Amino acid sequence: MSALPPYRVSAYNTAKASENKIHDDATAQRFGFKGGLVGGVHVYAYMSHMPVQKWGRAWLERGTGEGRFGKPVYEGDIAEISAVEDENGLAIRVDSDGVHCATGRAALPASAAPAIDLNDFKVVAARANRVAADEQSLKIGDWLGMNPLTITQDYQTQDIGDTRETDPLYLAEGIVHSGTILRCCNWALTHNVILPAWMHMGSTVQNHGVARVGDTLNVRARVTKNYMHKGHKWVEIDALVLANEARPIARVTHIAIYVPRQLAAAA
């Protein structure tokens, strides 16, 4: 086994003013955290630097990734991402302020994953009238869409800066960052239900291609699980992120606590 050079990022919380108050210092502190949480999609974005460093664009086109977020990363703290190569790819971890925060893996299969039949994923628009997230509004079997996002050059430049990405590949080739692709799965939730304070807890990703500046991103997602665990309400979705409603970019199993136990107990 061999280790890649560590990657250090000054973590940045882009969501302080978002509807999700878990990113707000005051709310997060009431939940027992020291401040607003840096989003899981950004932590995954930091982690994804390692397989891109190792395999380049090929990983974005057909690689696999996984992230599990156990402890928060806070704005301004240094997130140190380390990766060790083994027979199955890269074992990745994130440490910050002396705490082990996240664990993941990445791999580059010898060949691309089987083609996806788009007919297996129902096309629906984001709901016009959102209601609070619960067992009915996130019912198993429900299909979810998002408000489409067209990637402009300005958006991409801002996004790469917010992610603190140092690999030149994204800007040089106009490629949408892997963290933004994953954020579409968040939008499959937030564009359809009201989530006052929630936490992205993990994702398993199969990359199918790259999106570029000028493409419009969308998602087709199905709720596969909705359950209670340790007092939290959890949801899992099977999401397909597409460019221009035609080209698969990534298929993702996306897991979140949609009602933390502090709110579930009060309901």
Q: Which residues contact 58 (CB under 8 A, 6 or more apart)?
A: 108
d(CA 65, CA 70): 17
- Residue 183: other Cβ atoms inside 10 A: 26
- Residue 126: other Cβ atoms inside 10 A: 17
Closest alpha carbon to 41 in 69, 82, 74, 64: 69
pLDDT in tens, 106-142: 999 999 999 999 999 999 999 999 999 999 999 999 9
d(CA 80, CA 72): 13
Q: What is the pTM (predicted TM-score) of this model?
A: 0.95
| pLDDT for residue 264 | 66
The answer to whether 234 and 228 have CB atoms below 8 angstroms apart is yes
pLDDT in tens, 187-246: 999 999 999 889 999 999 999 999 999 999 999 999 999 999 999 999 999 999 999 999
Backbone angles phi, psi at 119, to 5 degrees: -65, -15
- Residue 244: other Cβ atoms inside 10 A: 13
Which residue type occupies 68?
R
| pLDDT for residue 267 | 53
**Average pLDDT over the chain, rounded to an integer:** 94
CATH of domain 2-110+124-264: 3.10.129.10
Backbone angles phi, psi at 14, to 5 degrees: -85, -5
Task: Report the SS3 class of residue 263.
Answer: helix
Burial of 32 (0-12, 13-18, 19+ CB in 10 A): exposed
d(CA 22, CA 89): 33
| pLDDT for residue 32 | 85
Give, rounded to a whole angstrom, the gap between the first and last alpha carbons of the chain. 49
Complete DSSP assignment for 197-257 = S-EEEEEEEEE----BTT-EEEEEEEEEEEEEETTEEEEEEEEEEEETTTEEEEEEEEEEE
Burial of 143 (0-12, 13-18, 19+ CB in 10 A): middle
